Structure formats: C-alpha cells, structure tokens
C-alpha cells in the first residue's frame, strides 16, 4: 500500500506544556528537513534513526524563524506507524503549535484524519485491532485505573489470549479435516468428538471468564456512578466537596475532553468515581419523601455505588429507616458523620440496619474519617474480584458483544457434539467461533468497520 505523509498536533499524555506536531510517511524527514535549521546546519536526512535534534523551524519562503524546537527523528519500521516519523516538540502554546502545523502542511504534508496514525499502525501490521482500540480507550481513559486497563490491552494481553483460543479451535478443525480426508483411520475419528468437546468447553470457559471481567471493565472506563444520599443537613455536600478536594480529578490533557465532563470524575485510590452531578445530588436529598420508596429505589438502582450519610448528632428518623430500606441489596457504604458532636444516634442500631454494608464514621468538619471512607470504597470495589496483574479485562463494547456471540456458537458446537451430530456439521460452528474471535483482534473484519472504528479516534493519535 502507498501512503502519503500525514501530520497532526499530538499532545503527549500528562504533559500540558509541551505540544507535539507529528509527521508520518515517506516524506516525513524530507519535509522536516525543509523547515528545520540546527545551529550547525545539519542535514536531517543523513541522521541516524531515533535521534533528537535541537534547532529552529524556519519558514523557507520568508526565511523567518518560527519556533525553537526539539525534533525527534525515527525511521521506519521501528516506529508506531512503521513509517518514517518525525515529532516536533514545541513548548509554546496553542498558537505557536498551530503555526508549526501550518508550516509542515504548506511544505508537503497532509492533515491527518482522526485516528489516522493508529489506522496506519494497524494497516502496516504494527498493531492488531484490539490494540488499536486500546489506543482509543487510552485517549479517553479518565483515570489511572482505566488507563492501566487500556495499557494492558495494548500490551496485547487480550490479543494473546484470543490467539491462544483460536489456535485451539484451529487445531481441532485441522484434526477434523484429517479425519474427513482419511476416513480409513476409524479409531482417530472416534477420538475427534471427545477432543472437540474438550477443546470447545475450555474455549467457552475462557470466554466466560473474559465476559465476567467485562462489567468491571465497563465500570473502570466510565467510572462508578456514585450517589450520595441522606436527609437534609447531614453533610452530603460536605462529603462531595471533600472527595473532590482530596482527589483532584486525575485527567489526561487530551483534546476533546471537556471540562464539565472532567469535573464529574474523582479518583479514589485508583477507583474512578463518577459523582452524580450537583443537581442530581440535590434531587436525592428528599428523594424518599418526594417520590416514595419504590420510585427512589429505581433512581438509586442506576447508581453503582451509594454513599448513605447519617448524622451522629441526631437519633435515627423514619426517613433514615426508609433510606436503608431503599438501598437494600445495593453496593453501599454507610457514613455516620458529625462525630465531633455528642452522639445521639444509636450506633448498634445503625450496624444492625447496615447488615454486611461497611459503616464508617467521619467528621467532615474536622476532616476525620475520610481516609477510612476511601479505603472502604476501594476495598468494596476490589473485593475478591480483581488480581490486577493477571487479569485480562474486556472493556470494549464491541469486544463484549463479539465474545457473547462466540460463546453462543461454541455452545452450539458443544451441544451438537453431545447429540452425535456429524462432525463436519459441528465444524461449521467451530469455524464460526474461530472467525468471530478473529474479529476481536481484527483478523477478519471488513474494511468499513475498520474505517468506522478509526474515525472515532482523536486527531493526532
Ligand atoms: P447536606 O444538606 O446533607 O448537603 O449537608 P451539608 O454538607 O450542606 O452540611 C450541613 C451542615 O452541617 C453545614 O453547616 C456543615 O458545615 C455541617 N457539617 C458537615 N459535616 C459536619 C461535621 O462533621 N461536623 C459538624 N459539626 N458539622 C458538619
Ligand atoms: Zn447539600
């Protein structure tokens, strides 16, 4: 395939002050050379790969210095796109970065479409589709935890597992072929069905394990939607403020993420919380009284995590009881606030009502107990379910739906095998499973799907 040279502004993760204009393609170095001037006038085309050069960008027509830059030069195929790549690091603001971009466009580069760098990496065989999608998730990742999931996927953990599963299926298919082509080996034929059932059952178990992580993965990407509820004046707003203050939303500096979205997220010990917006929280204040237990339960059901706040300084009221009723069976932490004031609440009764939910005491006024609360949130989230290092997450909606289909087709194969359906018929289901798993890593996807996926990428990645 023949590609032209593309360019875009590409701001690195977590570094706000520096902006990069990235070039990729056969003329990347040539174009850079036209506009770059180092103190000793070196020729970029003669430089070694993976070297960094200091100098100025000069508009060749006006012979005018535009920017002071550091320029990294990387020759294909050891680059992200497998093409020649030049990254121009500018420390100026948006205006000067734009000037640099304009300069490379005037001198022969084309403005990259959204996701086009990643698309090239994919088309040039540098990454597979699930890795490409991980890049997209990375761009969107809102917290450390979500970023780790995306990084793990980019590492190819998911792809490796999927490849192993496909390999197993392919081997049984090959075995079936052999048996069909050489029917005289009767004893081998008999071995095929049990073997097929074994392999398919194993594949199904692995898919199920992956799907189990998918709800977690989804939560990780979007943040646990968290509702703070309680009677008026118990300290809900104070709690919200303290969570926001202590956990400055950890967010990457990425074009396209707007500030109001950012502000909803806080990162509590690696757990991303999407705090219900202020308006929402106000609404829940008298929620039970206003709309009744049934309805409020419905509203609360949409939250992944409930923080129920009570006041240490007052005895339990009818409303508190109804709140407890409303959150039955949900992930919830009970917070007894205002411990700096004399205790009026019946703590034993609170623990009784809470059942197996964690109860944490705080004085938000004196900033006490917030650590314990954060620990409770983290342990609730990670409780028994995550061994972060050896777990492959699936957090991508397309992967999840494909895995569901793969699970169904492999189940068909297993059932058919149990029912003594002829092996060459079962073969169809196994082949289908193999194909669908291939779609997860992009081995058998249509062009249009690829285009659609890459259009979702941010510019410059
Ligand atoms: P909300 O109505 O549930 O949102 O409660 P607020 O957060 O607005 O707090 C109501 C009042 O209780 C405010 O005057 C807070 O300063 C006060 N308050 C919050 N937390 C504490 C606490 O731990 N101890 C004491 N003494 N007062 C608190
Ligand atoms: Zn409030």
Whether the predicted pLDDT of 434 surpasses 70: yes
Which residues are found with C-beta within 5 Å of the ion, ligand 2?
236-237
Cα radius of gyration (the chain): 28
Band of pLDDT at residue 370, cut at 50, 70 and 90: very high
Tokens (6 digits) for 35: 């506009």
Ligand 1 atom closest to 281 (CA): 4
pTM: 0.50
> Does the pLDDT of residue 260 top 70, yes or no?
no
Atom number, ligand 1, closest to the C-alpha of residue 368: 23
**Pocket residue to mutate for ligand 1, from 230, 231, 235, 282, most atoms within 8 A of Cβ:** 235
Grade residue 259 by pLDDT with cuts at 50, 70 and 90: very low
pLDDT at 16 over 60: no
Q: Which one of 3.40.50.960, 3.30.360.10, 3.40.50.300, 2.40.40.20 gives the CATH number of domain 223-388? A: 3.40.50.300
Angstrom CA distances, 393 to 118, 147, 398, stand at 21, 12, 13
Ligand nearest to the CA of 282: 2
Atom of ligand 1 nearest to the CA of 339: 23
Q: Which ligand ends up closest to the CA of 239?
A: 1
φ/ψ of residue 369, rounded to 5: 90, -5
Q: Nearest ligand, CA of residue 230?
A: 1
Distance 316 CA to ligand 1 centre (A): 17
CA of 18 to the centre of ligand 1 (A): 42
104 Cα–ligand 2 center, Å: 53
Q: Would you call 250 helix, strand, or coil by DSSP?
A: coil
Q: What is the pLDDT of residues 261-306, one digit of tens each?
A: 223 567 677 676 777 643 333 444 455 555 555 555 666 777 778 8
pLDDT score of 448: 54
Average pLDDT taken over every residue of the chain: 77
143 C-alpha to center of ligand 2: Å?
26
Model confidence band, residue 337 (pLDDT cutoffs 50, 70, 90):
very high
In this prediction, residue 250 carries a pLDDT of 35
> Ligand 1, atom 24: nearest CA belongs to which residue?
338
Between the CA atoms of 335, 341, 347 and 349, what dihedral angle is there, to the nearest 10 degrees?
-90
Tell me: is residue 279 an annotated ligand-binding position.
yes
The ligand minimizing its distance to the Cα of 313 is 1
Q: What is the pLDDT of residues 132-145, one digit of tens each?
A: 777 766 666 555 55
Where does residue 452 fall: left (phi above 0), alpha (psi -120 to 50 degrees), or beta otherwise? alpha
Ligand 1 pocket residues where CB is under 6 Å: 230, 232-238, 337-338, 340-341, 363-365
Question: Which H helix or E strand runs over 294?
Answer: helix 287-301
- Distance, CA of 232 to chain centre: 36
* Ligand 2 centroid – CA 237 distance (Å): 4
Has 126 been labeled as part of a binding site? yes
Q: What is the pLDDT of residues 163-220, one digit of tens each?
A: 889 888 887 887 777 666 666 655 555 557 888 899 999 999 999 888 877 766 555 5
Q: Shortest CA distance to 434 belongs to which of 213, 122, 196, 216? A: 196
Q: Distance between CA atoms of 168 and 171, rounded to whole angstroms?
A: 5
> Which amino acid residue places its CA nearest to atom 22 of ligand 1?
338
Q: Which atom of ligand 1 is nearest to the CA of 234?
A: 3
Total residues belonging to the chain: 461
280 a known binding residue?
Answer: yes
Ligand 2: centre distance to CA 357 (Å): 23
Percent of the chain with pLDDT over 70: 69
d(CA 105, CA 107): 5
Under the phi-then-psi rule, with left for phi > 0, alpha for psi from -120 to 50, and beta for the rest, what region is 345?
beta
- Would you say 156 is a known binding-site residue? no
142 marked among binding-site residues: no
pLDDT at 95: 64
Q: Which helix (H) or strand (E) holds 361?
A: strand 358-361
How is domain 151-219+396-434 classified at the CATH fold level?
1.20.120
User: Which ligand is closest to the CA of 340, given by its number?
Assistant: 1
The ligand 1 atom nearest the CA atom of 362: 23
Instruction: Ligand 1, residue 238: give the atom nearest the CA.
Output: 7
Q: Which sequence spans correspond to the domains of the chain? A: 6-112, 151-219+396-434, 223-388
Query: Tokens 């938000």 identify what position?
Result: 364
Nearest residue by C-alpha to atom 25 in ligand 1: 338
* Residues 394, 398, 403, 405, Cα dihedral to 10°: 160
Taking the centre of ligand 2 as the mean of its atom positions, its distance from the CA of residue 283, in whole angstroms, is 10
Is 460 marked as binding a ligand? no
Q: How far is the CA of 259 from the centre of ligand 1 (A)?
A: 27
Q: Which CATH superfamily is domain 6-112 in?
A: Probable tRNA modification gtpase trme; domain 1 (3.30.1360.120)
Count of C-beta atoms within a 10 Å radius of residue 405? 16
Element (H, E) at 186: helix 186-222
């Amino acid at each position: 395939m023949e590609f032209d040279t593309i360019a875009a502004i590409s701001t690195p993760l977590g570094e706000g002050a520096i902006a990069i204009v990235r070039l990729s393609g056969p003329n990347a170095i040539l174009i850079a050379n036209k506009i770059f001037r180092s103190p000793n006038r070196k020729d970029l085309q003669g430089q070694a790969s993976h070297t960094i050069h200091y100098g100025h960008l000069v508009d060749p027509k006006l012979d005018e210095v535009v920017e002071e830059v550091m320029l990294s030069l990387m020759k294909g195929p050891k680059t992200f796109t497998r093409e020649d790549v030049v990254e121009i690091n500018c420390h100026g603001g948006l205006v000067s970065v734009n000037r640099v971009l304009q300069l490379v466009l005037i001198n022969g580069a084309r403005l990259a479409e959204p996701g086009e760098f990643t698309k090239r990496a994919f088309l040039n065989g540098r990454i597979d589709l699930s890795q490409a999608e991980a890049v997209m998730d990375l761009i969107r990742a809102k917290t450390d935890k979500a970023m780790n999931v995306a990084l793990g996927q980019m590492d190819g953990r998911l792809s490796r597992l999927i490849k192993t599963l496909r390999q197993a299926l392919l081997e049984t298919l090959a075995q079936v072929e052999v048996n069909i082509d050489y029917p005289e080996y009767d004893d081998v034929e008999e071995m095929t069905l049990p073997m097929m059932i074994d392999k398919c059952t194993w594949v199904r178990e692995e898919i199920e394990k992956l799907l189990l992580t998918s709800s977690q993965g989804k939560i990780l990407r979007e943040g646990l939607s968290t509702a703070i509820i309680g009677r008026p004046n118990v300290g809900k707003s104070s709690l919200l403020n303290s969570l926001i203050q202590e956990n400055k939303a950890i967010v990457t500096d990425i074009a396209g993420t707007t500030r109001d979205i950012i502000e909803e997220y806080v990162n509590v010990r690696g757990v991303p919380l999407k705090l219900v917006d202020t308006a929402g929280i106000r609404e829940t204040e008298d929620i039970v009284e206003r709309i009744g237990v049934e309805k409020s339960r419905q509203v609360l059901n949409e939250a992944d995590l409930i923080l129920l706040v009570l006041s240490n300084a007052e005895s339990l009221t009818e409303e508190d009881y109804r709140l407890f009723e409303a959150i039955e069976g949900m992930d919830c932490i009970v917070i007894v606030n205002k411990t700096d004031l004399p205790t009026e609440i019946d703590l034993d009764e609170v623990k009784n009502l809470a059942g197996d939910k964690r109860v944490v005491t705080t004085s938000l006024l004196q900033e006490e107990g917030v650590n314990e609360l954060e620990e409770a949130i983290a342990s609730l989230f990670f409780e028994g379910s995550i061994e972060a290092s050896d777990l492959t997450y699936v957090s991508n909606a397309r992967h999840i739906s494909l895995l569901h289909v793969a699970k169904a087709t492999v189940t068909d194969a297993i059932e058919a095998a149990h029912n003594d359906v002829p092996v060459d018929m079962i073969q169809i289901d196994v082949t289908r499973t193999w194909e669908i798993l291939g779609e997860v890593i992009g081995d058998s996807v249509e062009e249009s799907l690829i285009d659609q996926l890459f259009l979702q990428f941010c510019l410059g990645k």
